[in-house]
Amino acid sequence: MQRLDSHPSGRHFLGIPGPSPVPDRILRAISYPTIDHRGPEFAELGKKVLDGVRGLFGTTQPVIIYPASGTGAWEAAMVNTLSAGDRVLMYETGQFAALWQALARKLGLEPEVLGGGIRGWRMGVNADAIEARLSQDRDHLIKAVCIVHNETSTGAMSDVASVRRAMDAASHPALLLVDTISGLGCAPYLHDAWGVDVSIAGSQKGMMLPPGLGFNAISPKARAAAAKATLPRAYWAWDEMLAFNPSGYFPSTPNTNLLYGLSEVIDMMNEEGLPAIFDRHERLARACRAAVAAWGLELQCLDERAYSPVLSAVVMPEGIDADEVRKTILERFDLSLGAGLGQIKGRVFRIGHLGDCNDLTLMAELAGCEMGMQLCGVRLQGSGVLAAMSSLRAVNTAEHRQAA
Ligand SMILES: Cc1ncc(COP(=O)(O)O)c(C=O)c1O
């Protein structure tokens, strides 16, 4: 096998929308020696991360941390709160929402799907449609509403608060389950204030960690539902976690070294400050969109209110295979971009601008895209690189003036 550290020169550009690049400071923290997860030192680490991570979710309630990918955290959210045959209203904004539906079916739930289709994959969640459907459900057969905060396959971010308002307007008691696997740490997220019952997250996106930690932030209503829900659960059971966590320990072996990393992430994010982190994501996303517009290309997301600060999915003109463009860009410039998934496979490529990303990281990505598209014969109207530089320069100048 080719050695992964044998790139010809310079660093590989990991431009996919997660896993995102892991900063050196976090890599160093992860390299500390593994300690006894039942020993006294561990409790300090466990308490710090279990407490500190709550700030990222905007909650004072417990957050469960699993050694798992995001898919595991999806499953945990459902098996703890629902019972076989329960109807769940799942809004389809793209491939990840569709995969979550498939998981729900495998668990024996009955998803009812809103959104979806070609158009649904170009927009965020339509809260009015959710309100209309819940208002018809007079017998309250729908037990949960499931939405994806940031749809990583399309670059559409949905307004979670509007969904809560829709549920309240319909006076419907369903639980609100939100996948914020790629939204958390990149955009404001308020689990408590938005009345979310289970927020589902993963370590490998805005948290800047390697893959391997899955999260469930849970409301008191979700805990009450868990006491009655009957889907089988063992590894994922919240109650055992909740029994152990207050002392800083876990019922089974946690991934100690990723928790070192998480501890460092919490420090780094507190140092930069969440508002500054979110502004940085917005600024980079705006510059990326300026590039796409200057190229004369379309974004997959058609609703500007739903433009994602995390990634931009760029639609290729008819006759151009987006996967060929990605392949050229990887081979020539050592830049990995996200593939089109599901019904948009080969139609789009995705540029990540999340996590440990700054102006020049983005500029490198955009330069790689521009050169790669030119090599593949994509007709570009103008230079996206110049447009993005001008966008970044304008914002930075305004900020500098303000600071002076
Ligand atoms: C929005 C969203 N949901 C779910 C998942 C699945 O998570 P994982 O691949 O970590 O299991 C992903 C992965 O990219 C995602 O972006």
Cβ partners under 8 Å of residue 87, min gap 6: 109, 110, 111, 112, 141, 142, 143
∠ Cα 363 158 183 (to 5°): 50
Which residue spans of the chain are classified as CATH 3.90.1150.10?
13-20+273-403
pLDDT tens-digit map of 330-351: 999 999 999 999 999 999 999 9
Q: How confident is the model at residue 10 (pLDDT cuts 50, 70, 90)?
A: confident
Res 317 pLDDT > 90: yes
Q: How much distance in Å is there from the Cα of 70 to the middle of ligand 1?
A: 5
Q: For the segment 77-88, what is each residue's pLDDT rounded down to a tens digit?
A: 999 999 999 999
- From the CA of 204, how far away is ligand 1's center (Å)? 9
**Omega of the bond leading into 19 within 30 degrees of 0 (cis):** yes
Query: Which CATH architecture does the domain made up of 24-270 adopt?
Result: 3-Layer(aba) Sandwich (3.40)
Is the CB of residue 93 less than 8 Å from the CB of residue 154?
A: yes
Per-residue pLDDT of 201-216, as tens digits, reads 999 999 999 999 999 9
Whole-angstrom Cα distance, residue 338 to residue 349? 6
Q: What's the pLDDT at 399?
A: 62
* Mutation choice for ligand 1 from 78, 91, 96, 255, CB with most ligand atoms inside 8 A: 96
* Predicted pLDDT of residue 9: 83
Contact by Cβ (8 Å): 37, 249: yes
Q: Name the band, by pLDDT with cuts 50, 70 and 90, for residue 403.
A: low
CB atoms within 10 A of CB 221: 16
Confidence of residue 218 (pLDDT cuts 50, 70, 90): very high
Residue 386 has pLDDT above 60, yes or no: yes
Q: If you search the block for the tokens 């007709």, which residue do you land on?
A: 379
Say yes or no: CB of residue 258 within 6 Å of ligand 1. Answer: no
- The boundaries of every CATH 3.40.640.10 domain in the chain are 24-270
User: Exposed, middle or buried by CB within 10 Å (0-12, 13-18, 19+), for 77?
Assistant: buried
pLDDT band (50, 70, 90) for residue 377: very high
Q: Specify the pTM.
A: 0.96
- Rounded to the nearest whole angstrom, what is the distance from the C-alpha of residue 185 to the centroid of ligand 1? 15
| Helices marked H in 311-358 | 322-333
349-371 tens-digit pLDDT: 999 999 999 999 999 999 999 99
What H or E segment, with its residue span, contains residue 348? strand 348-352
Compute the distance from residue 71 Cα to the ligand 1 centre, in Å. Answer: 6
Of 16, 95, 182, 311, the residue with max ligand 1 atoms within 8 A of its CB, to mutate for a pocket test, comes to 182
Give percent above pLDDT 70 in the chain.
96
Tell me the β-bridge partners of 336.
Answer: 14
Determine the distance separating the centroid of ligand 1 and the alpha carbon of 179, expressed in angstroms: 9
Domain covering 13-20+273-403, topology? Aspartate Aminotransferase, domain 1 (3.90.1150)
pLDDT at residue 391, as a whole number = 97
Q: 94 in ligand 1 pocket by Cβ < 6 Å? A: no
Q: Whose CA is nearest to atom 13 of ligand 1?
A: 70
pLDDT in the model for residue 8: 66
Per-residue pLDDT, 398: 61
Burial class (CB in 10 A: 0-12, 13-18, 19+), 1: exposed
Residue 5 predicted with pLDDT over 70: no
